[in-house]
Amino acid sequence: MRTSPAVRAAALAATVTVLLPLTGCSGIGGKDTPDRSDSSPHAANAAAAPGPSDLASQQLEWHPCPAPSQAEGGGTTPSPLPGGAVWECSAMKVPLDYARPDGDTMELALVRAKAIDQKNRIGSLIFNFGGPGASGVATLPAFGTEYDKLRTRYDLVSFDPRGVGRSDGVKCENDKQLDARYEADGTPDDAAEEKIFTDDTKEYAAACERNSGRQLPFVGTTNAARDMDLMRQVLGDARLHYFGISYGTELGGVYAHLFPKNVGRSVLDAVVDPTEDIEQSSLGQAKGFQLALDNFAKDCADRGGACKLPGSTGAEVEQGVSDLLGRLEKAPIPGLGSRKLTQTLAITGIAAALYSKETWTLLEEGLDEADGGNGALLLALADSLNGRSDTGHYNNLAAANTAISCADSKERFTLEQTKAKLPAFREASPIFGDYLGWGLMTCTEWPVAGVWDHPDVSAPGSAPQLVIGNTGDPATPYKGAKAMVEALGQGVGVEMTYKGEGHGAYNSGNACVQKAVDGYLLNGEMPAPGTVCG
């Protein structure tokens, strides 16, 4: 029986751990909103602030986990793990502002599964799945069986970072407004479209300030790193054992910079380049997604008649994709229900399917169906990346992503500056370049000032950390791993390479990668620097 587009796209839900600036039409700003930049030094100087010693002694109350909230993506109660172990949830108090540790607090949602071998338990292994904005409370149980070997000696633990999911999740626009936002043209072509684009960014920022103004100054990565050190203490661990994926590698690097002596066994997978600013990172993503599309198109063409897409070479397959997007800009096609597949949603759907080689078949099918006038599957793929459920509700991943990114980055691009950058983006990617280039305006006029050009992850004195780069990663290009190793400092980062496709290495299923990571985390056996798996 032919499955629905939503079911076919469901494999992507919660697997996308870096969000493209798919709100390229969601560059955020609020012209008339109050400036909260006086709060930004609090985040920048958080490491120097006194620690909340009373909060470090709090006792967590664990209970069986409920179903994920809508902000976390919705769904059903987490299934028991092999052997019958249940997922437990709790809440941990943290200071709203670490510069005022005795002031207001907020609660972070936590999830855990206890170690199987309690006698030889190492401690807690804390996961961050990226985004920024991904709910760890929803994601870890969804993929918990993939980490079950690590559960032999660790309590598997994750959390919703501040501003995410149940942890005082940032709220901006409602479902109806978000539907309109994601359908809108993310690559304006004339002055009239540019005005619509910039007005939309201002309206979005105003909504974020109106609905979540209290937490916006305090959701940055530095505070999240401070939260993890408090979590380490509350969980009773002398050192932080950590598994960071995608943006989680940036968070791990910032943690190591702030608390190098507290680093335990740490794995950074799908590595963000910590030396890049927003422009460089977005340009790198344009190149990364173009590389992934090139590889997809070549694979399709090499299969000859077995490929559903027209073209005998990769270039010809890609030309067909470009032609389809050009037609969609002029005339959207039927999608799901009354919703249409627009050019922007099609680009989003294509990007979503490039996060894993396993979903290339969905991309091929979706492009073929769209070429025939049925946009349902590409729209379902776009929904998976935008965080829209099949009931029409959105999680808060995109809102949290924007809030955290803009709390971190100082960069604020004007319309004129953005337009001047577009040629470089178009050269990097004929398909994704325009879209990612316009995404530079994501933080324009955001009501909270950012604190850095790029994160400082230098960590002299830290324990060694395993840093894994994937040569075909579209969202965090391979060169980020080497940059992270160099930025961490001599004797800290140990680079390992996975020659594969998709976003991330451990969850690719590659036996070589999993053996190396498991051996390090479980037995302390760090692979030799330069190890290559393929």
- Look at residues 95, 131, 129 and name the one whose alpha carbon lies nearest to residue 111: 129
Alpha helices in 143-246 (DSSP H): 175-183, 191-212, 221-234
- Angle at the Cα of 108 (from 104 to 114), degrees rounded to 5? 145
Cα 411 to Cα 176: distance, rounded to the nearest angstrom: 30
Which member of 155, 269, 383, 473 is catalytic?
A: 473
Beta strands in 96-159 (DSSP E): 105-113, 123-128, 154-159
Contact partners, residue 403, CB within 8 Å, separation at least 6: 163, 170, 208, 212, 215, 216, 219
What 8-state DSSP symbol labels residue 337?
T
Contact 165/71 with Cβ under 8 angstroms? yes
Is 389 labeled as catalytic in the residue annotation? no
Which member of 246, 384, 405, 429 is catalytic?
A: 246
Is 246 labeled as catalytic in the residue annotation? yes
Is 257 labeled as catalytic in the residue annotation? no
Cα 121 to Cα 522: distance, rounded to the nearest angstrom: 10
- Angle at the Cα of 27 (from 291 to 451), degrees rounded to 5? 90
The tokens for 144 are 């918990």
Please give the distance of CA 242 from its chain centroid, rounded to a whole number: 17
Cα 158 to Cα 75: distance, rounded to the nearest angstrom: 18
C-alpha distance from residue 200 to each of 26, 70, 466 (Å): 7, 24, 42
The SS3 assignment for 143 reads coil
Cα 216 to Cα 204: distance, rounded to the nearest angstrom: 14
Cα 91 to Cα 22: distance, rounded to the nearest angstrom: 31
- Look at residues 466, 458, 494 and name the one whose alpha carbon lies nearest to residue 244: 466
The tokens for 351 are 């990007």
C-beta pairs of 525-529 under 8 Å, 24+ apart in sequence: 526/464, 526/466, 526/494, 527/466, 527/494, 527/496, 529/494, 529/495
461-483 exposure pattern, b = at least 16 Cβ within 10 A, e = fewer: ebbbbbbbbbbbbbbbbbbbbbb
Contact 253/487 with Cβ under 8 angstroms? yes
Contact 80/138 with Cβ under 8 angstroms? no
* Active-site residue list: 246, 473, 503
